[in-house]
Structure 1
Amino acid sequence: MAWGGFAIALFFTYLLQVGVVSILDFPAVDLFLAFALLCSLFAPTHDARIAAFLIGLAQDLGSADALGIHAFTLGLTAVLLTYIRELGNMHVWWVRGLAAVLAAWPGQLLYLLHLYYWAGTGVISIRGAVYAAGVTAIVVAVLIMFVPSLPGVIHRGSRRRYRASSA
């Protein structure tokens, strides 16, 4: 993964989430989760998991929630999605969408449980977790459809360069 491009994309994701989505009051749209899903779908496995954790950490730094909850939930989502993507044909758009929803739902549910039990706010809603995961998966599917070069941009720079060892 090209980590410099990742850092720039993370910065713009943060600006869009804080500056546009929160001002327009779209609570179901989570651009951080969408970015983590995109990285988890197209980046190499270890890079995807590290990227999702870093995305969650950036979200934690900009929120009033407990430090680490978003890093944990997005990291969990990336782990699940990198396992799921090995099972199916990820070249079909609806399979990617279904995999994204299945991977995002447990993380969203854990976040809602955190809000209810530890933060003392919110309500536990399985339907709300599925709704948030579904809306985010739709955002990811639309991004992939309208920016077909996006998987190549995320995957660029993923080849490791090793020096030939002399024995």
Structure 2
Amino acid sequence: MKNIIQEVKDEFEDLKNISSMLEKKTEFDAPCPSGKIEEWEKTNGVKIPEMYKSWLLLTSYARIMDGRIELFFPEISTPDKEDVYIGSLGYGSDSLYFSQKTGAFYAIGDDREEYEDFLDFLTYVHVTLEDEAEEEYGEEWLEIYDEKFGNE
């Protein structure tokens, strides 16, 4: 198993920090053992994109902002194994997938929202948390964040 991709780790830490400031509860479970990931890939004949593997090696389950965003261990959702279900958005109204054929990440609800890659999706999560922080703390939220966590 490869090491955790640094950009994913950095984003994970920043999301944890911003989430800890918010009134809406966020939970990050323990990391997923690499053996479980390898076994799942072998059993299902599906390669998990490296960025998502990195995420799983940081947390096996994330429930962000009272469940507005959830990320979890992959589930096969179609018989051809094309769509792999990895989360939900909008308190469960939209489902998040990756394509095992193309590696693309996308959410399906009323519309289909495509992400360049998993980091692009994490940017969406980050912006969502920043918007919530600004709603709770006003424009000073970033100063409060920097004071609490240091400006890295």
TM-score, normalised with respect to structure 1: 0.28
Structure having the larger proportion of residues in strand: 2
Structure having the larger proportion of residues in helix: 1
TM-score, normalised with respect to structure 2: 0.30
